[in-house]
Amino acid sequence: MTAIADPRAPRAAVRRRGANLEKWGWVYMRASGVLLVVLIFGHLFVNLMVGEGIHGIDFAFVAGKYATPFWQWWDVLMLWLALIHGANGMRTIVNDYVTHAGTRRVLVWALGLAAAFLIVLGTLVVFTFDPCIGFDAETASDTIISICG
């Protein structure tokens, strides 16, 4: 006679080896969300509440901000976090709703490539921004004149 296993005996959970990318994606979404709230509200406060508000935002205002490394890194960090956060969210939606494996793979790759392209392009724009291209001292504002000399 054979013994029947106790039905209430716990089974050992199957442990996967390697990195759990879904868990780290979940953690990233929470951490980047908190950082993005701080970065976005700081950005909005400086742009809309300090100085002349929305009426003071023009090319000279942006040139003045991008003349300092602090604001360059602030905007690049906001750009990177927002794009990766959004691409990861879209990847989650694709994984949840696209049933065909080939289509899912193509869409996830397209999301990754689009996010990488926009990150590289946005970073280049922020760090290579030169307000003095085409500088005309007769028509430029005082802020641009003080930056470009």
Q: What is the pTM of this model?
A: 0.77
The DSSP H or E segment spanning 105 is: helix 101-127
pLDDT at 19: 75
**What is the per-residue pLDDT across 118-141, written as a single tens digit (0 to 9) for each?**
999 999 999 998 877 766 666 666
Tell me if 28 sits within 8 A of 34, measured CB to CB.
no
Please provide the average confidence, as pLDDT, over all residues in the chain.
86
The CATH fold assigned to 22-148 is 3 helical TM bundles of succinate and fumarate reductases (1.20.1300)
**What is the per-residue pLDDT across 42-65, written as a single tens digit (0 to 9) for each?**
999 988 888 788 888 888 888 888
Please report which confidence band the pLDDT of residue 1 belongs to, taking 50, 70 and 90 as the band edges.
low
- Helix, strand, coil distribution of the chain in percent, nearest 5: 70, 0, 30
Q: What residues does each domain of the chain span?
A: 22-148
Report the pLDDT averaged over residues 11-36: 85
